[in-house]
Amino acid sequence: MANSEYEYVRHFEQPDTLPPSNWIIVRIDGRGFSKLSAKYAFAKPNDKRALDLMNAAAVETVRALFDVVLAYGQSDEYSFVFHEACTLFDRRAAKLATTVATLFTAEYCMLWPTFFPDTPLTRPWPTFDGRCVAYPKRRILRDYLSWRQADCHVNNLYNTTFWALVLKGEMGNREAEEALKGTLARDKNEILWSRFGVNYNDEEVVFRKGTVVYRKLEGVGPLGGSSRTQVEKERKRKMKAEIAVEHVDIIGDGFWEERPYILAGKR
């Protein structure tokens, strides 16, 4: 019903369009996963099933959203990168964040039985919050992703050492916390090696590096032009593309130099 007397209420809505020519990150994070991981007895510090489930939900989210050029995940979070030229939902922040968060949540819950066949999911259902951040330069986007991967490393080294002290060293939680206070990375590596014979670098790479998800489109340059046929062609190309799931370093330049198409642009 157009032009009803009630329509003025629309003017109370706040615009939330993200600036053009910015890379958009939507980061989702599991709500209260400290509790959830205890409820379902996730292995400490890392539960392979839980991570595989996160990664499977991310793959389906990337598959459903053609504008996502790459996603990076660790722990109970995932960051989805939208191309700087993306026009999805007119770049409206709330619409982007809620779409990604709800899509991811639905996938996570629906895929749960595949990864936890013996542990039925019960209320309160897992949910994920979502937020958008816009980065005006590729360099800053790269720094954002490096920040998340460095966070993965720092947390994982800490958690691996902490749980080694508790589970194998028979320390109490408080005692282990005290023992690790003020320690540097090399101290933790030393504790792991000398007390538990664990070489941190032999820990599973998915735990140490997190997970990168992207469409494999190598060998094809970015399609120029924005004509309808070009856009349709690009869509078909992305639909057919294999989705890669890798546990690799994305802080250095190597990953990006080998896959220049991921962040390629028309300008």
Q: Which is nearer to ligand DGT, 53 or 81 (CB)?
A: 53
- Nearest approach, Cβ of 250 to ligand DGT (angstroms)? 20
Binding residues for ligand DGT, rule CB under 6 A, total 16
Closest CA to 209 of 55, 15, 36: 55
Give the one entry of ligand DGT, Mg ion, none that residue 260 binds, where binding means its C-beta sits below a cut-off of 5 to 8 angstroms depending on kind: none
CA pair distance 77, 28, nearest whole angstrom: 6
Q: Which is nearer to ligand DGT, 22 or 55 (CB)?
A: 55
Contact pattern from residue 69 through residue 88 relative to ligand DGT, giving x for each residue in contact according to CB under 6 A and a dash for the rest = ------xx------------
Burial class (CB in 10 A: 0-12, 13-18, 19+), 208: buried
Residue 112, both tokens: 């749960």
Q: Which is nearer to ligand DGT, 37 or 189 (CB)?
A: 37
- Nearest approach, Cβ of 129 to ligand DGT (angstroms)? 7
Contact pattern from residue 18 through residue 57 relative to ligand DGT, giving x for each residue in contact according to CB under 6 A and a dash for the rest = -----------xxxxxx--x----xxx-xx--xx------
- Nearest approach, Cβ of 4 to ligand DGT (angstroms)? 40
- Nearest approach, Cβ of 41 to ligand DGT (angstroms)? 8
- Nearest approach, Cβ of 101 to ligand DGT (angstroms)? 12
For 153, other C-beta atoms within 10 Å of its C-beta total 18
Q: Which is nearer to ligand DGT, 217 or 245 (CB)?
A: 245
Give the one entry of Mg ion, ligand DGT, none that residue 47 binds, where binding means its C-beta sits below a cut-off of 5 to 8 angstroms depending on kind: ligand DGT
Q: Which is nearer to ligand DGT, 9 or 41 (CB)?
A: 41
Q: Which is nearer to ligand DGT, 20 or 32 (CB)?
A: 32
Q: At what angle do helices 173-180 and 138-163 cross, to 10 degrees?
A: 130
104: Cβ contacts below 8 Å, ≥ 6 apart: 28, 57, 58, 61, 78, 128, 130
Q: Which is nearer to ligand DGT, 117 or 224 (CB)?
A: 117
Residue 32, both tokens: 């209260």
Given its phi and psi angles, is residue 184 left (phi above 0), alpha (psi -120 to 50 degrees) or beta?
beta
Closest CA to 263 of 23, 18, 20, 19: 23
Applying CB under 5 A, the residues found at the interface with Mg ion are 29-30, 33, 75-77
| DSSP three-state, residue 79 | strand
- Nearest approach, Cβ of 163 to ligand DGT (angstroms)? 9
CA pair distance 232, 79, nearest whole angstrom: 26
Torsion of CA 47, 40, 71, 26, to 10 degrees: -140
Positions touching ligand DGT (CB under 6 A) are 29-34, 37, 42-44, 46-47, 50-51, 75-76
